[in-house]
């Protein structure tokens, strides 16, 4: 049996859209790695609002071993 996907979620401060990302999506679609430490990496992600919000958020996730 597989483990459930870990997710990060937040409201966009610009448009209020509720963004939900799995850690795998963040690793694949994250624009760039701003910081990579031993335990975490910080990515920038564009808002998922289908109406076209261009706001970016920084999201930190654990580094895969």
Cα 30 to Cα 2, 9, 37, 51, 64: the distances in Å are: 24, 14, 16, 20, 15
DSSP 15-51: T--EEEEEHHHHHHH-S-EEEE-SSEEEEEEE---TT
Here the tokens at position 25 are: 């999506």
Residue 50 and residue 23: Cα distance in Å, rounded?
20
- The pTM assigned to this predicted structure is 0.77
What pLDDT is recorded for position 16? 97
What pLDDT is recorded for position 36? 76
| pLDDT values of the chain reduced to their tens digit, one per residue, 65 residues | 556 679 999 999 999 999 999 999 998 887 767 777 788 889 999 999 999 999 999 999 888 76
């Amino acid at each position: 049996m597989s483990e459930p996907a870990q997710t990060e979620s937040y409201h966009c401060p610009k448009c209020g859209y509720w963004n939900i990302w799995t850690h795998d999506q963040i690793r694949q679609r994250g624009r760039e790695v701003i910081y990579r430490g031993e335990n975490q990496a910080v990515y920038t992600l564009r808002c998922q609002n289908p109406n076209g919000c261009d706001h970016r958020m920084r999201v930190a996730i654990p580094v895969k071993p």
